[in-house]
Chain A
Amino acid sequence: MRYAFYFDQSRCMSCNTCSVACKDWHGVNPGAVRWRKVDSHETEGGFFNLSMSCNHCETPACLYVCTAGAIYKRDDGIVAVDRAICQKIEDCKIECPYDTPQFANNKQEPETIAGSFTRHPMQKCDFCVDRIDNNEPPICVASCPAYALDYGDYAELQDKYPDAVPLTKDDFPYAYKRDAEDNTGPSMLIKKRKGLKIT
Chain B
Amino acid sequence: MKSFDLLSNLKSKLSITRRGFLHGALAVGASATVVGCEKVDEDTFGKDVEVPIDAIVYGSTGHNCGARCITKAHVSNGRIIKFTTDDTAKYTDGTDVSADSENCTQSRACAKCRGYKHRLYHPGRLKYALKQTKKRGDLSGFVRVSYATALTEVATKHKAITDKYGSESFHSLYACGTIASSYQGGGYTGIWTGMNGIGGKYVGGQLSYTDDYSFHQKSFFGNRYTGYTSETFNAPVVAQHVKNLVLWGSNILSTVNEKAYSWIRSVEKMKLRDPNAKVYFIGPEFVDTGVTLADEWIKIKPYTDVALIMGMLYHMIEKTFETTGEIKANPMLDVKYLDTMVYGFFASPEYWIHIGVKEVKDENNVITTVEVKATGEIVLSEPSQNLEQYNKVDAVPAGRALASYIMGDGNYLGGTYDATGDNATYTSAKFISANPPITRGARCDYLVTAGVGTTPYMYKQDFTTPKTPAWASRITGISETKIKELAEIYANPANHPVASTWAGGQTKQSEGVMTFFAMHSMMLISKVWGETGNVFDRAFGGSRGEAEGNLSVKIDRNVPDNPGSPVIGCTQWLSGIKFAFGDQLTTTNGYTGSYVHDHTVTDVNDRKAYFDDSGVKSLIKWKRDDKGKLIVITDNTSSAKGCYEWDKDSNNKPIYSGVRFILNAGGNILINQHMNPNDSRQVYESLPLASESPTDPDTLCLVSLDNFLSPSPRWSDYIFPATTNWEQEDILGISLGNSIYVPVVSKAPGESKAPYDFTNELLKAYAKIDPRKSGLSTDFTGGVADKSLEMHTKEAFAVASSKAGILQGKTWDEYLKNPFLPRVPNDSVITKSKSKLRTNIDKYIDLSNEDRIGTPFIKVDTSTYSVKHIHQSVNLVGLNNAGYGDMGGGEFSNPETAPDSPSRFTVYSPMFVWRYENRYSKFHGYLATADRGMKNEDSEGDPLVYPIPMYFNYEDYFMDAYGGVDKLPPVNNRFLLTTTHDRYRVHSSQAENPYLRELTHRTVGGDLYSGDDWNEYALLGVEPAEDGKYAIPRLNKAIAENKANATYSEIWMNDIDANKKGIRDGDLVEVSNAIGKVHCVARLSKRCVEGFLGLHQGCWYDPDPDTGVDVGGNCNTLMASRPSRADHGNAQQSAMVEIKRVVV
Check A197–B295 contact: CB distance below 8 A. Answer: yes
Check A198–B995 contact: CB distance below 8 A. Answer: no
**B1014: contacting residue among A14, A27, A107, CB under 8 A:** A107
**A12: contacting residue among B9, B114, B292, CB under 8 A:** B292
Specify which of B110, B111, B999 lies most central, judged by the most chain A CB atoms within 10 Å of its CB.
Answer: B111
Q: Does B84 contact A (CB under 8 A)?
A: yes
Given contacts A13-B253, A20-B996, A146-B264, contact A107 B109 (CB under 8 A): no
Given contacts A145-B260, A199-B482, contact A32 B1014 (CB under 8 A): no
Closest chain-B Cβ to A25's Cβ sits at a distance in Å of 5
Q: Does B1009 contact A (CB under 8 A)?
A: yes
Given contacts A13-B291, A142-B84, contact A199 B297 (CB under 8 A): yes
Closest chain-A Cβ to B851's Cβ sits at a distance in Å of 45
Closest chain-A Cβ to B248's Cβ sits at a distance in Å of 15
A107 contact set on B, CB distance < 8 A: 1012, 1014-1015, 1045
A76 contact set on B, CB distance < 8 A: none
Closest chain-B Cβ to A142's Cβ sits at a distance in Å of 6
**A17: contacting residue among B110, B298, B479, B1008, CB under 8 A:** B110
Given contacts A30-B995, A107-B1014, A143-B108, contact A199 B298 (CB under 8 A): yes
Check B118–A13 contact: CB distance below 8 A. Answer: no
**B478: contacting residue among A15, A197, A199, CB under 8 A:** A199
A34 contact set on B, CB distance < 8 A: 1009
Check A16–B111 contact: CB distance below 8 A. Answer: yes
B478 contact set on A, CB distance < 8 A: 199
Check B479–A32 contact: CB distance below 8 A. Answer: no
A113-134 Cβ-contact flags toward B at 8 Å (1 or 0): 0000000000000000000000
Closest chain-B Cβ to A90's Cβ sits at a distance in Å of 18
Closest chain-A Cβ to B41's Cβ sits at a distance in Å of 30
B82 contact set on A, CB distance < 8 A: 24-25, 27
- A192–B599 alpha-carbon span in the complex (Å): 55
Q: Does A112 contact B (CB under 8 A)?
A: no
B994 contact set on A, CB distance < 8 A: 30
Q: Does B1085 contact A (CB under 8 A)?
A: yes
Given contacts A40-B288, A146-B260, A196-B297, contact A17 B114 (CB under 8 A): yes
- A37–B286 alpha-carbon span in the complex (Å): 21
Check B294–A15 contact: CB distance below 8 A. Answer: no
B108 contact set on A, CB distance < 8 A: 17, 143-145
A13-48 Cβ-contact flags toward B at 8 Å (1 or 0): 111110111011101011110100101101000010
Check B479–A199 contact: CB distance below 8 A. Answer: yes
B99 contact set on A, CB distance < 8 A: 147
Q: Does A67 contact B (CB under 8 A)?
A: no
B994-1011 Cβ-contact flags toward A at 8 Å (1 or 0): 111111000000001111
User: Which of chain B's residues 1002-1033 have a Cβ closer than 8 Å to chain A?
Assistant: 1008-1012, 1014-1015
- Chain A residue total in the interface (Cβ 8 A): 42
Specify which of B85, B291, B295, B1087 lies most central, judged by the most chain A CB atoms within 10 Å of its CB.
Answer: B291
Check A31–B1014 contact: CB distance below 8 A. Answer: yes
Q: Does A11 contact B (CB under 8 A)?
A: yes
Check A29–B295 contact: CB distance below 8 A. Answer: no
User: Which of chain A's residues 82-120 have a Cβ closer than 8 Å to chain B?
Assistant: 105, 107-108
- A116–B110 alpha-carbon span in the complex (Å): 34
- A76–B101 alpha-carbon span in the complex (Å): 32
Check B299–A47 contact: CB distance below 8 A. Answer: no
User: Which of chain B's residues 94-130 have a Cβ closer than 8 Å to chain A?
Assistant: 99, 104, 108-111, 114-115, 117-118
- A99–B265 alpha-carbon span in the complex (Å): 32
B118 contact set on A, CB distance < 8 A: 30
In the complex, residue of chain A having the shortest beta-carbon distance to the beta carbon of B111: A20
B111 contact set on A, CB distance < 8 A: 15-17, 19-21
- A17–B118 alpha-carbon span in the complex (Å): 15
B80-93 Cβ-contact flags toward A at 8 Å (1 or 0): 01111101000000
- A194–B104 alpha-carbon span in the complex (Å): 24
In the complex, residue of chain B having the shortest beta-carbon distance to the beta carbon of A16: B111
Check B288–A13 contact: CB distance below 8 A. Answer: yes
A32 contact set on B, CB distance < 8 A: 998, 1009-1012
B167 contact set on A, CB distance < 8 A: none
B258-288 Cβ-contact flags toward A at 8 Å (1 or 0): 0011001100100000000000000000101
B707 contact set on A, CB distance < 8 A: none
Closest chain-A Cβ to B620's Cβ sits at a distance in Å of 49
A49 contact set on B, CB distance < 8 A: 291-292
- A89–B265 alpha-carbon span in the complex (Å): 45
Closest chain-B Cβ to A123's Cβ sits at a distance in Å of 15
**A147: contacting residue among B261, B1015, B1086, CB under 8 A:** B261
Check B296–A196 contact: CB distance below 8 A. Answer: yes
B1009 contact set on A, CB distance < 8 A: 32, 34, 37
- A68–B1090 alpha-carbon span in the complex (Å): 51
Secondary structure at the A interface, as helix, strand, loop or mixed, is loop
**B261: contacting residue among A31, A108, A146, A199, CB under 8 A:** A146
A108 contact set on B, CB distance < 8 A: 1012, 1014
B295 contact set on A, CB distance < 8 A: 194, 196-197
Given contacts A32-B1009, A145-B108, A199-B478, contact A13 B1087 (CB under 8 A): no
- A142–B81 alpha-carbon span in the complex (Å): 18
A31 contact set on B, CB distance < 8 A: 998, 1011-1012, 1014
Check B479–A30 contact: CB distance below 8 A. Answer: no
**B109: contacting residue among A29, A42, A145, A198, CB under 8 A:** A145
B9 contact set on A, CB distance < 8 A: 136
Specify which of B85, B1011, B1015 lies most central, judged by the most chain A CB atoms within 10 Å of its CB.
Answer: B85
Given contacts A31-B1012, A108-B1014, A198-B299, contact A20 B995 (CB under 8 A): yes
- A145–B99 alpha-carbon span in the complex (Å): 10
In the complex, residue of chain B having the shortest beta-carbon distance to the beta carbon of A134: B11
Closest chain-B Cβ to A128's Cβ sits at a distance in Å of 12
In the complex, residue of chain A having the shortest beta-carbon distance to the beta carbon of B252: A13
A78 contact set on B, CB distance < 8 A: none
Closest chain-A Cβ to B1016's Cβ sits at a distance in Å of 9
Q: Does B565 contact A (CB under 8 A)?
A: no
Q: Does B254 contact A (CB under 8 A)?
A: yes
- A157–B812 alpha-carbon span in the complex (Å): 42
Q: Does A80 contact B (CB under 8 A)?
A: no
**B110: contacting residue among A15, A30, A136, A198, CB under 8 A:** A15
Specify which of B99, B257, B995 lies most central, judged by the most chain A CB atoms within 10 Å of its CB.
Answer: B995
- A111–B569 alpha-carbon span in the complex (Å): 52
A54 contact set on B, CB distance < 8 A: none
Q: Does B289 contact A (CB under 8 A)?
A: yes
Check A30–B998 contact: CB distance below 8 A. Answer: yes
Check B1011–A30 contact: CB distance below 8 A. Answer: yes
B1122 contact set on A, CB distance < 8 A: none
A21 contact set on B, CB distance < 8 A: 83-85, 111, 114
Q: Does B983 contact A (CB under 8 A)?
A: yes
In the complex, residue of chain B having the shortest beta-carbon distance to the beta carbon of A37: B1009
Please name 16 pairs of A and B residues whose Cβ atoms are closer than 8 Å in the assembled complex, sorted by A. Answer: A11-B264, A13-B254, A13-B291, A14-B292, A16-B111, A20-B996, A25-B82, A30-B994, A32-B998, A107-B1045, A142-B84, A145-B257, A147-B99, A198-B299, A199-B299, A199-B482
Please name the 8 residue pairs, one residue from A and one from B, whose CB atoms are nearest each other, closest first.
A30-B994, A30-B1014, A20-B111, A197-B296, A145-B108, A147-B99, A13-B292, A21-B114
Q: A24-B114, A30-B995 given; name 17 further pairs at CB < 8 Å.
A: A11-B264, A14-B292, A17-B108, A20-B111, A20-B114, A30-B994, A30-B997, A30-B1011, A31-B1011, A42-B1087, A107-B1045, A143-B84, A144-B108, A145-B260, A147-B99, A194-B295, A196-B295
Interface residues of B (CB under 8 A from A): 9, 69, 81-85, 87, 99, 104, 108-111, 114-115, 117-118, 253-254, 257, 260-261, 264-265, 268, 286, 288-289, 291-292, 294-299, 478-479, 482, 983-984, 994-999, 1008-1012, 1014-1015, 1045, 1085-1087
Interface residues of A (CB under 8 A from B): 10-17, 19-21, 23-25, 27, 29-32, 34, 37, 39-40, 42, 47, 49, 105, 107-108, 136, 139, 142-147, 194, 196-199
